[in-house]
Amino acid sequence: MSGTVSLLPERATAKAGCTEPAVIRERGQHEVFCGLTGIVWMHRKIQDAFFLVVGSRTCAHLMQSAAGVMIFAEPRFGTAVMEERDLAGMADANEELDKVVSRLLERRPDIKLLFLVGSCPSEVIKLDLSRAASRLSAQYSPDVRVLNYTGSGIETTFTEGEDRCLASLVPELPQSRSKAPELLVVGALADVVEDQFARLFGAMGLGKVAFLPPRRSRDLPAVGPNTKMLLAQPFLAETARMLGERGATHIPAPFPLGAEGTTAWLKAAADAFGVDPMTFRSATASAEARARRALEPFRETLAGRRIFFMPDSQLEIPLARMLSRELGMEPVEIGTPFIHKAHLSEELALLPEGVTLSEGQDVDRQLDRVRAASPDLTVCGLGLANPLEAEGLTTKWSIELLFTPIQGYDQASDLAGLFARPFDRRTRLRV
């Protein structure tokens, strides 16, 4: 998708140490999925929610292709297709939407939370979805809550869809009356990963831990001045801002990728709640040791390999930290759509000395740097992977890192395997 007119990149002056690496800031044409794609993992997480995309047939085809819609299971997302007569103002868009929602809720009485997801700005689809959501929520309350957010590629990048979705939930969260500090883990995690973290927190003595999003919409966590939030994903800027306005305080931490990152993430929560260091080590030591052992076989394949991250998922900085420190890979350039320093300060301090960061994208310039560097592995979106493979470069699809459980101790080897697999594939093709 196209961005603004290409500009010359601005290079920031690097300060001493690795906490402030050199940054190439680019604002030009970029290649990234739009925020609609977040529905693919979000609809699996909130089990009584439905995501209704209000958009074109192109958007419907994108969701079908990206999600690989299952034949034997009815997914909890769909598209209210905007026809030409709707866009031309020949039909009452609100009336048409009301009909679609009515049919949907009659057919699917299990839906308790309905998200109206805009695929384009309101000016394009001629429909104010925020007003429509408010009207429909009043109509179907208390059985169904109707919310809205934008997944427009003009307004959001790949993982910002999850951020916008969770941000739309924040005003609905009940007010916490607790006098004691409470932990809120923010960011969609696979159920198995969430269960693992809940057990680890419990072993530390943190019995009351809430997760956003919850598995059921009726279980929205309370938030207030005594809430401490621990981000599980680095791309939740708007959600964190809105939670902060509700009184929650952010716990700075690396993200739970790899053995080291998971321990640091858990330790940040433990320190914030005054957990005894011996209790913390007792709760985490065996799982951390198991994760480190599981990573060892992958070092043979990955150590010394040079890796180039193109901006896509906003996971790039935590991934580069994990791959360099735990598996011996050498980041050539770490591209990411945005650098939220408040959320990434702990990660930036752990990056290798002298590494180059790039924020935003001018895809032609970045492709020139990829070709000049000739890295062993390039992490990029689907639209760039095949052309780079045709040029002889080995690539890794960044989208797979969102569809696969990769957080936590027990998933550390799965994460390493995702980066080792392209080399195995390349070896097999050459035989």
Q: Return d(Cα 150, Cα 161) in angstroms, integer.
A: 7
User: Which tens digit of pLDDT belongs to each residue from 193-229?
Assistant: 999 999 999 999 998 899 999 999 999 999 999 999 9
Q: How confident is the model at residue 16 (pLDDT cuts 50, 70, 90)?
A: very low
Q: What is the pLDDT of residues 358-399, one digit of tens each?
A: 998 889 999 999 999 999 999 998 889 999 999 999 999 998
For the beta carbon of residue 35, count every other beta carbon within 10 angstroms. 27
Q: Are 331 and 419 in contact (CB under 8 A)?
A: no
217 vs 114: CA distance, rounded Å: 10
Inform me whether the pLDDT recorded for 250 exceeds 90: yes
The answer to whether 158 and 1 have CB atoms below 8 angstroms apart is: no
d(CA 431, CA 426): 9
Domains of the chain, with CATH numbers? 10-32+295-430 (3.40.50.1980), 35-156 (3.40.50.1980), 182-282 (3.40.50.1980)
pLDDT score of 8: 27
Query: pTM here?
Result: 0.89
List the binding residues for [4Fe-4S] cluster.
34, 59, 120
6 pLDDT band, cuts 50/70/90, is very low
pLDDT, one tens digit per residue, over 308-341 is 999 999 999 999 999 999 999 999 999 999 999 9
Give the annotated binding-site residues. 34, 59, 120
Lowest pLDDT segment from 16-20, 294-298, 398-402 = 16-20
Beta strands in 235-322 (DSSP E): 249-250, 306-309
